[in-house]
């Protein structure tokens, strides 16, 4: 999911969250956007909506894990640091299948 400004909406994108204005749902979750719907959203004076889109701008799991190693360097010999590093590594592995 990704929150994007109304100006960057393109036809074919899907809403990951409903568009709500004044407590009323105007467009439901999963709605595929068309030019007409985008124009409608722009008229609602809503700044942004949440769309279905891949996580993070293409940063791969491998890059994240390499960065993790660099950030810890020799610090994982300090108490609890190896543990914290392992937990973050497992989290990255789980969330970037």
Q: Which residues would be at the binding site for another protein (CB under 8 A)?
A: 1-3, 5, 20-23, 47-48, 50, 55, 64, 67-68, 70-73, 75, 78-81, 83-85, 87-88, 90-92, 94-95
Work out whether strand 19-21 and strand 2-5 pair parallel, antiparallel, or are unpaired.
Answer: unpaired
In angstroms, the CA 5 to CA 77 distance is: 44
Helix 81-95 with 61-72: angle, nearest 10 deg: 170
Identify which of residues 42 and 71 has a Cβ nearer to another protein in the complex.
71
Burial 23-51 (b: 16+ CB within 10 A, else e): eeeebeeebebeeebbeebeeeeeeebeb
Whichever of 38 and 88 has its CB closer to another protein, that residue is 88
Q: State in angstroms the smallest separation of the CB of 97 from another protein.
A: 13
CB 88 → another protein: shortest distance, Å? 4
In the complex, least distance from residue 91 CB atom to another protein, rounded to whole angstroms: 5
Compute the least distance from the CB of residue 17 to another protein, in Å: 8
């Amino acid at each position: 999911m990704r929150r994007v400004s109304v100006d960057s909406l393109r036809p074919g994108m899907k809403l990951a969250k409903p568009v709500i204005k004044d407590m009323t749902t105007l467009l439901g979750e999963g709605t595929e956007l068309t030019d007409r719907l985008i124009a409608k959203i722009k008229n609602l004076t809503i700044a942004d909506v949440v769309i279905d889109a891949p996580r993070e701008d293409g940063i791969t799991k491998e890059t994240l894990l390499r960065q993790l190693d660099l950030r810890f360097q020799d610090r994982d010999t300090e108490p609890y640091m190896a543990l914290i590093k392992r937990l973050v590594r497992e989290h990255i592995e789980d969330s970037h299948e």
